[in-house]
Amino acid sequence: MSIDISQYRVGVIISLEDCGNCRNGGKTLRACKVRIGGTDDDNYDEATDIVTVVTSAPNVRILSRVVVAPAGSSILAADGEFLEVKKVTVGGVSSEGMLCDSKMLGWIGGAKGIAVNLADSFGVGTLPPSSKPRPNDSSMADGGGGEKDAEPAAALPGLFEKKLSKEEKKSLAAERKAKKMAAKDALAKEDEEC
Mark 37-75 as b/e (b = at least 16 C-beta within 10 Å): ebeeeeebeeeebbbbbbbbbeebeeebbbbbbbbebbb
The predicted model gives 60-75 an average pLDDT of 91
Q: What is the pLDDT of residue 53?
A: 92
Q: What percent of the chain has pLDDT over 90?
A: 26
Q: What is the pLDDT of residue 1?
A: 54
The chain-wide mean pLDDT, for the chain, equals: 80
pTM of the model: 0.65
